Amino acid sequence: MSKSKFTPEQRASIAQEYLDGISSSTELATRYKVDDYTIRRWAQRYKEQGILAFLKKDGNIQYTADFKLSCVELYLQGNMSMQDIVVKYNISSDSVLKGWILRYNANRELKDYDPKKEVYMAEARRKTTIEERKEIVKYCLEHNRNYKETSSIYNVSYNQVYSWIKKYDINGDDGLLDKRGHHKTDDEVDELEKLRRENLRLKHQLKEKDMMVELLKKVKEIERK
């Protein structure tokens, strides 16, 4: 379960207020500065599991391949919504179930997940869209930066997730943009970057000059022979 600024008792109280019809989800969302969806989800979880829905569990939840498959099939049959399945079967988030569905539809194997096992590594570093990277980063941050679980769910490598999180920490969503192939001109950068580039150019020029001197020495040595 993701870390929350609200205690289990507070979330239970808010959920009960919504279920009792005292306040709407929009009113509660505005009052407590969370989104409307969160209020409705708390209410549904509380209705199904009581305050246990909000109590932090020790370690990460383990999911077997059979459990994942049965949840995916239940959703695909159209008998229950994604949110209903997540609440009823105590899955950590909608994103987790969505990840299983994506893997199933892509004909990829749904593996047992055990937090104690080695990190699941993607077969190869696959290409991702900016929207995918945003979703992956959001899931990872909401789950206490669990890079291992995130990489397994979204079929990307541990290193990819770790790199995206670090870039997001520094530059936000802009850090998730794929800037390969784009090089800013000198006019597009600040003075510090211009100095850095000029320094690199001078180093290259000196290196080329040194190489030329060495080459001339070798040519003269050959000529003397």
Question: Average pLDDT in the 141-169 region?
Answer: 83
What are the Cα distances from residue 199, in Å, to 11, 204, 205? 56, 9, 10
What are the distances in angstroms from CA 211 to CA 9, 203, 207, 208, 222?
72, 12, 6, 5, 17
Q: Are residues 106 and 171 in the same domain?
A: yes
> Which pLDDT band holds residue 117 (cuts at 50, 70, 90)?
very low
Q: Is the pLDDT of residue 119 over 80?
A: no
Across the range 161-176, mean pLDDT stands at: 85
What's the chain's average pLDDT? 77
Q: Is residue 2 in a domain?
A: no
- The per-residue pLDDT for 143 is 81
Average pLDDT of span 149-172: 83
Residue 135 CA: distances (Å) to CA of 33, 46, 200: 21, 26, 37
The last residue of a domain, from among 176, 199, 216? 176
Q: How sure is the predictor about 30, in pLDDT bands with cuts at 50, 70 and 90?
A: very high
Q: Is residue 103 located within the same domain as residue 133?
A: yes
User: Could you tell me which residues come within 8 angstroms of residue 125 by beta carbon, excluding any fewer than 6 positions away?
Assistant: 156, 157, 159, 160
| pTM, two decimal places | 0.39
Encoded tokens for 36: 């409307």
In a domain, 27, yes or no: yes
Structural domain span for residue 204:
186-224
116 and 96 in a common domain: yes
| Number of compact structural domains in the chain | 3
Phi, psi dihedrals of residue 195, rounded to the nearest 5°: -65, -40
Q: How far apart, in whole angstroms, are the C-alpha atoms of residue 36 and residue 27?
A: 9
Q: Does 201 fall in a domain?
A: yes
Q: Which of 50-59, 160-169, 178-187 has the lowest mean pLDDT?
A: 178-187
- Provide the pLDDT for residue 155: 79
Q: Please count the other Cβ atoms lying within 10 Å of the Cβ belonging to residue 160.
A: 19
Lowest-confidence pick of 32-41, 99-108, 127-136, 178-187: 178-187
With beta carbons less than 8 A apart as the criterion, state whether 174 and 146 touch.
Answer: no
* Interval 133-149 mean pLDDT: 85
Residue 76 and residue 36 share a domain: no
Q: Is pLDDT at 3 greater than 60 in this prediction?
A: no
DSSP label at residue 179: -
Residue 1 forms part of a structural domain: no
Is the same domain home to 86 and 156? yes
For residues 150 and 215, membership in a common domain is answered with: no
Residues 147 and 80 reside in one and the same domain:
yes
| pLDDT confidence bin for 66, thresholds 50/70/90 | confident
Question: Based on the domain organization, do 172 and 191 belong to the same domain?
Answer: no
